[in-house]
Chain A
């Protein structure tokens, strides 16, 4: 089996699995006052401290949630509601056109049901949001904006956004800035340490992270929220997490998240370099087998120390082939990848990310995402390179439109 879909989810790390089973075997509600409760509480708080340490945040900034989608919902709805309650004129929400559906669907709902005015920030052909674009959108009427959200790195094409610059623009206009760092955390240095999340002008005010993208379990995430930032909660009933999030604390999940994040961040520069080298090899050799294949997103090599692309991401278009066909044929050969966004029926639609980058419908439909992670080895790339030529040849016979 050749697993090239780490951006969807990555195998659980042994450290995380050990923490999950160790904590999962022990009874205890972290809100209880007795010894079992205290034991659970200690595990949760130590996990919170570990994550805060990795992010350069204070422990109290870390709000555990049920995952990345919940964190995005909490950030956008929570900030929109709170900001509008304080200043009714703040109805506008600015998000990039290439956000994950957890952001786009959330703001679409806020628009349809809550009177929000949503503006999608344009991206360039590489998928980058330019600070000038945000500046222009804010400058039109800064006092009407409730929140800005731009992802740290794109989940489909891997483009890394200039988050610090964008956060700076938002802050100069007095608007809070949220970023979905689900794909970036563990692959890039996602830290608010440089200037400190509490005071820094160029640090995001809220960051979404998720455990299962760094080798932890599904169903755990966090929203890292700057102190003093007021959010209205999505859920009510206990107020366990700073009165922003209710629900019995997921002790084992938090422990496993912390263990996975520690393992992911421990050797991050070295591991990122390893993945980038593997990814570069993948792209080069696939393009050698299929000369017409086109790399989408940012170039492979970015400026030193500031990659413009996630190290594990390779997103390619194979003109004349349906992405669905390629995926099926690769799957039949034991090679697992993704066509990008899928709707709930499982039907592949042309990716909104590629369309926002200016790609044609056909170009978007002919694309595949290969994403590498901590278990990826050279043999995975070898397997893909061996299969891709015949697969593309076969898929091109079936054509692009059925």
Chain B
């Protein structure tokens, strides 16, 4: 089989490519250049699109003795991921750019181009399992499982995807990389959003959206407790950095409950008020009809809660057996049966 290995420069994608080679496939490595600004290429910003990462990927491809190219997807990435990220925040939603990148870049633009160029499949270093029948499952390493960020992919996107690492723990992957002589064996994991160097999402958004001041309002009393510079700097469920001088009357911490971009109002209240029992999502990947008992996960490294999901037309309504906190429109909700992904959608509304 001719396979294209997407190589970020990290240890996971390097070992995934190595396993594809070992499986006897004709493997070509490709590094996706996602950053447009030459500065970010030179400052060595953390993430997955610096020059250093491209070099690490190239070096790994050399060790594996496979052809290696860089594909420039910066324009697509900017339009489909970064602009959408900024636009979502401006509308008070909390997008997950990794989910979006998988939907629009890795398993869309890259996959389409690979298939058009005669490749049979795209290999990535995601920690997830894909059964021959197309069922997506969690990785055997619960701490590194990435099935959540793949959950919204449609069957036709998964059909040509290969995840060779799903049966291994991260520790095993690192050990294998060392045994194979891959220099990225002990390269640290990247955690930040790849296009925001330094991890200051609020500051990054303020640079793009400018200052949009508004009030911080108490949910119970309606009283204005303070001012803020821009609602986009807040996410639902956020506790720190509210900048409120006076403590709540009951002395308990306050959380962001709601963000209204139209009036630039940030509503805060108690932890209990954050509890969400019901989610309405789109049907990004939900082929099922009727009521389906399952477990719901609403963030990449969150736990699951019991849930019942039912499609209503274009929407997916999920009632939860126990509440989730700090859940905002824009996030993905992925529904599981044990380690099996049943499907997913993007949250449209909560409550």
Q: Which of B65-73, B83-91, B121-129, B241-249 contacts A (4 or more CB under 8 A)?
A: B65-73
Residue of B with least CB distance to A328: B69
Nearest CB of chain B from residue A327's CB, rounded to whole Å: 8
CB-based contact B54/A325 at 8 Å: no
Q: Which of B112-120, B157-165, B276-284, B316-324 contacts A (4 or more CB under 8 A)?
A: B112-120
Interface residues in A320-347 by Cβ distance below 8 A to B read 324-325, 327-329, 331-332, 343-347
CB-based contact A328/B117 at 8 Å: yes
Judged by a CB distance under 8 angstroms, whether B110 is at the interface is yes
CB-based contact B33/A347 at 8 Å: yes
Judged by a CB distance under 8 angstroms, whether A34 is at the interface is no
Judged by a CB distance under 8 angstroms, whether B346 is at the interface is no
CB-based contact A347/B72 at 8 Å: yes
* B54, B58, B70, B117: most-surrounded residue (chain A CB, <10 A): B117
CB-based contact B67/A332 at 8 Å: yes
Judged by a CB distance under 8 angstroms, whether A394 is at the interface is yes
CB-based contact B51/A402 at 8 Å: no
Residue of A with least CB distance to B114: A398
CB-based contact A345/B67 at 8 Å: no
Partner of B117, one of A325, A349, A401: A325
Interface residues in A372-397 by Cβ distance below 8 A to B read 394-395, 397
Q: Which residues of A contact B116 (CB under 8 A)?
A: 394, 397-399
The 6 closest A-B pairs by CB, nearest first: A398-B116, A346-B70, A397-B116, A347-B72, A347-B33, A402-B113
Q: Which residues of A contact B58 (CB under 8 A)?
A: 346
User: How far is it, in angstroms, between the C-alpha of A147 and the C-alpha of B152 when the chains are bound?
Assistant: 60
Judged by a CB distance under 8 angstroms, whether B176 is at the interface is no
Residue of A with least CB distance to B67: A331
Partner of A402, one of B31, B54, B70, B76: B76
User: How far is it, in angstroms, between the C-alpha of A398 and the C-alpha of B239 when the chains are bound?
Assistant: 47
Chain A positions 342 through 356: 1 when the CB is less than 8 Å from some CB of chain B, otherwise 0: 011111110000000
User: How far is it, in angstroms, between the C-alpha of A327 and the C-alpha of B117 when the chains are bound?
Assistant: 12
Interface of B (DSSP majority class):
helix
User: How far is it, in angstroms, between the C-alpha of A345 and the C-alpha of B116 when the chains are bound?
Assistant: 24
Q: How large is the interface on A (under 10, 10 to 19, 20 to 34, 35 or more residues)?
A: 20 to 34
CB-based contact B51/A394 at 8 Å: no
User: How far is it, in angstroms, between the C-alpha of A345 and the C-alpha of B76 when the chains are bound?
Assistant: 18
Q: Which residues of B contact A395 (CB under 8 A)?
A: 117
Q: Which residues of A contact B74 (CB under 8 A)?
A: 347
CB-based contact A346/B67 at 8 Å: no
Interface residues in A24-58 by Cβ distance below 8 A to B read none
CB-based contact B69/A346 at 8 Å: yes
Nearest CB of chain B from residue A164's CB, rounded to whole Å: 38
Q: Which residues of B contact A348 (CB under 8 A)?
A: 70, 72
Do A345 and B33 contact each other (CB < 8 Å), given the known contacts A331-B67, A402-B71? yes
Do A345 and B51 contact each other (CB < 8 Å), given the known contacts A395-B117, A402-B76, A402-B109? yes
Residue of B with least CB distance to A327: B69
Partner of A346, one of B28, B38, B54, B117: B54
Interface residues in A288-335 by Cβ distance below 8 A to B read 324-325, 327-329, 331-332
Nearest CB of chain B from residue A236's CB, rounded to whole Å: 27
User: How far is it, in angstroms, between the C-alpha of A284 and the C-alpha of B338 when the chains are bound?
Assistant: 63
Residue of A with least CB distance to B33: A347
User: How far is it, in angstroms, between the C-alpha of A329 and the C-alpha of B54 when the chains are bound?
Assistant: 21
Nearest CB of chain A from residue B92's CB, rounded to whole Å: 32
Residue of B with least CB distance to A332: B67
CB-based contact A344/B41 at 8 Å: yes
User: How far is it, in angstroms, between the C-alpha of A332 and the C-alpha of B118 when the chains are bound?
Assistant: 11
Q: Which residues of A contact B33 (CB under 8 A)?
A: 345-347
User: How far is it, in angstroms, between the C-alpha of A331 and the C-alpha of B58 when the chains are bound?
Assistant: 16
Residue of A with least CB distance to B105: A402
Q: Which residues of B contact A394 (CB under 8 A)?
A: 116-118
Residue of A with least CB distance to B58: A346
CB-based contact A402/B73 at 8 Å: yes
User: How far is it, in angstroms, between the C-alpha of A348 and the C-alpha of B33 when the chains are bound?
Assistant: 10
Q: Which residues of B contact A329 (CB under 8 A)?
A: 117-118
Q: Which residues of B contact A344 (CB under 8 A)?
A: 41, 51
Residue of A with least CB distance to B35: A345
Interface residues in A51-103 by Cβ distance below 8 A to B read none
Do A345 and B110 contact each other (CB < 8 Å), given the known contacts A325-B117, A399-B116? no
